[in-house]
Amino acid sequence: MDTQPKRLFFKHILRKVFLEDWVMKVVALAITLALWLGVTGLSNPTTQRLTSIPLSLTFSTNIEVTNSPIQEVTLVVTGDSRRLAQINKNDLIASIDISEVMPGDRVINLTPETVAVALPTGVKLDEIQPRSMAVRIEAVEEREVAVKAETYGEIPAGYEIYDEIVTPAKVRVRGPAGFIRSLESVSTERIDLSDRTGDFTVRQAPIGISNPKASVITGTVVDVTFRIGEQRIERVYSVQVDDESGRRAQVVLFGARSVFENVAASDLRVEVDRNAAGQDVPRAILPPVLEGRVEIRSVRLRS
């Protein structure tokens, strides 16, 4: 007696589910399926190669890469074609952090785990080509080096540079250890000496370093003073010693040629002092016209 009502009940339920309003239910099912496909992105995965993507190296300030490693890579990516279509290759930059790599000649593996690149959601980075790169890593050092004035042009005949004074004479530089240790000096920009016959000073002359990975860290300009005058010569005089011995002394002076034009041996004096060892030590005394204008190169007693 109970079987018949149960059968009628299930028949009623099945009619409700499958026969009543079936058109609307089919439409709803189609919409649901379309939404599910849209949300899950269900489609055949597509692989794409993205060529000439810039590669950026990230490292700490106490090391420097001193060779020329690769600057571009090819990325192999996989994803839904609609996601791949969102990629603008010109906006992509691949980067790899080598801060923890020790100094030396190293080979760095380029893998999806070590290379970072911003890709749309649902796009997977499968491979980087090439798969490795060679880098030379050096520690960074600092030290002081001399500043040298770089010049061009010729001063006129009959003149010479007496002195060249750079202020400050040294600067502190920073860069790869191998380069910094071999660096003897840094140079100013080129200074023209053409037609210079007297002293002059160049203010705020820029300093340059040939290695782009090195830099001056204690000021990038210096003052350079040149002392220029008449070409100098050595002049030798035989001078009577100021005593009763009758001895003579050879005096060698160094100075501008014109300074000696009206100077004779008789204008010079030589006195003899005795040192602690009991030896005679000759000393030249210059006339006022030569004071501060010449250098006494040597004074020797003649036998």
* CATH number of the domain encompassing residue 147: 2.170.120.40
Nearest to 271 by CA among 258, 263, 260, 280: 280
Q: 141-172 pLDDT, tens per residue?
A: 999 999 999 999 999 999 999 999 999 999 99
Q: Residue 254's pLDDT is what? A: 97
* Domain final position from 182, 201, 230: 230
Task: Judge if 184 and 166 occupy the same domain.
Answer: yes
Q: 69 lies in a domain?
A: yes
Q: How many domains does the chain have?
A: 4
Q: 178 lies in a domain?
A: yes
Across 156-219, the runs of DSSP E, i.e. the strands, are: 159-167, 170-176, 185-188, 191-192, 200-208, 215-216
Bridge partners, 142 (sequence order): 174
Query: Which range marks the domain in which residue 285 is found?
Result: 232-302
* Domain final position from 84, 103, 130: 130
Q: 158 lies in a domain?
A: yes
Q: 135 lies in a domain?
A: no
- Give me 297's structure tokens: 């190169």
Q: 79 lies in a domain?
A: yes
- Give me 15's structure tokens: 């009619």
Task: Judge if 187 and 267 occupy the same domain.
Answer: no
3-state class (DSSP) for residue 242:
coil
Task: Judge if 76 and 18 occupy the same domain.
Answer: no
Task: Judge if 71 and 97 occupy the same domain.
Answer: yes
pLDDT at 41 exceeding the cut of 60: no
Q: Is the pTM of this model over 0.85?
A: no
For the chain, give the percent of residues with pLDDT over 90.
Answer: 74
Q: How far apart are CA 134 and CA 69, in angstroms?
A: 6
Q: How far apart are CA 251 and CA 299, in angstroms?
A: 5
Q: 87 lies in a domain?
A: yes
Give the ranges where the chain is alpha helix by DSSP (H): 3-18, 22-40, 81-84, 177-182
Task: Judge if 82 and 35 occupy the same domain.
Answer: no
Q: 167-220 pLDDT, tens per residue?
A: 999 999 999 999 999 999 999 999 999 999 999 999 999 998 988 889 999 989
pLDDT band at 34 (very low <50, low <70, confident <90, very high): low
The mean per-residue pLDDT over the stretch 46-53 comes to: 94
Q: Residue 245's pLDDT is what? A: 83
Q: How far apart are CA 143 and CA 217, in angstroms?
A: 10
